[in-house]
Copies of this chain bind each other. A is one copy, B any other.
Amino acid sequence: MADPRFFKKDKAKTLEDLAKISGGVVHVPETAKLMIEDVGPLDQAGAGQISFLDNVRYKQMFASSKAAACVVAPQMVEFAPKSMALIVSKNPYKSYALIAQVFYPDAYPAANISRAAHIDPSAAIGSGCTIEPGVVVKANAKIGDGCWIEANAVIGEGVEIGPKSRIGVSASISHAILGAAVRLYPGVRVGQDGFGFAIDPAGHVKVPQLGRVIIEDHVEIGANSCIDRGAGPDTVIGAGTWIDNLVQIGHNVKIGRGCVLVAQSGIAGSSVMEDYAVLAAQAGVAGHLTIGKGARIGAKAGVMKDVPAGEEHLGAPSMPVRDFMKQVITLKRLTKDQKSE
């Protein structure tokens, strides 16, 4: 059970209610009214708790689990312990996520504007917002209804933030328009100048960065990540894209819908990630390239040319993952041969 100092649990629910919420179905109708009080991992959950099985590797753990209930895929039902109630779902992990969300809702604090926040009189603050101490909201900024601006965050002049967004501790935003339900984690930097200048031994000459950052609805940006504003065009983060911690997004970059960028990855100026593309941890994409729709760039890859839609690339310089794996094997084999000479 989650530590009650940090997490508030909602009240118990019937298996039937959880099935409805999760998009699954109760396997044995007689268990529909079973009361479930909490979620828990397969090997720890017990009476009153629901778990999930998503990976066939844990089948054994599942078979001996003492969880009162479990979310499983249809093909796993037969391995369930006799006493376990089941919700059957084609996507057990997603179903479990939805169930965990009802037990532990992402609750915002009661609306309150701290007297220790510094809000310019020309700023427009929506109804039902929480603005914590030390927050600075500059002239003409607009903050939508029900936003939560955490302590010491700074909202720049003219910035617009859609409803139900949450801006983390000490985050900073300038030259940006944010949609609804956007979440910036602590220390995120949005809207500072891109790294654009004419190199000159007599002193680099800055090219004024005249674009903005546009962040669409339901985007999440992880702690201490940086999104530079455009040089002329905007930098755009598409709806539903999730960005992890310490990620770098250069100026003019366009990221589509539902993309995933894992920790410490980076994408250089003017490159494009089409919808649902994935950039794994510590990967990098050079400037002016396109990562096609649904393409997957592996961890530590260094992308130096366009990646077609749907392909999976790895290596630096990156290549299709099967080619990379062949090269790894070839080099290993040749090294062995050299030794035996």
Contact = CB atoms under 8 A, between A and B. Distances in A.
A276 B240 contact: no
A300 B284 CA distance: 8
- Category for how many chain A residues contact B: 35 or more
A29 B284 CA distance: 48
Contacts of A291: none
Nearest to A205: B97
A212 B172 contact: no
A179 B276 CA distance: 41
A248 B281 CA distance: 10
B282 A189 contact: no
A204 B118 contact: no
A48 interface: no
A321 to B, nearest CB: 12
Nearest to A6: B175
Interface string A238-275: 00101011101010000000101011101010000000
Contacts of A207: 93, 96-97, 100
Contacts of A250: 263
Nearest to A5: B158
Given A154-B151, A212-B3, A136 B132 contact: yes
Contacts of A286: 281, 299
A94 interface: yes
A222 B195 contact: yes
Contacts of A204: 240, 242, 258, 260
B118 A133 contact: yes
Interface in A82-129: 91, 93-94, 96-98, 100-101, 103-104, 106, 114, 116, 118
Contacts of A186: 154, 172, 189, 192
Given A93-B198, A200-B94, A326-B339, A226 B222 contact: yes
A195 B97 contact: no
Contacts of A5: 140, 157-158
A170 B150 CA distance: 12
Given A204-B260, A327-B335, 10 more contacts: A96-B198, A101-B205, A134-B136, A170-B170, A189-B223, A201-B258, A224-B226, A263-B266, A329-B338, A330-B334
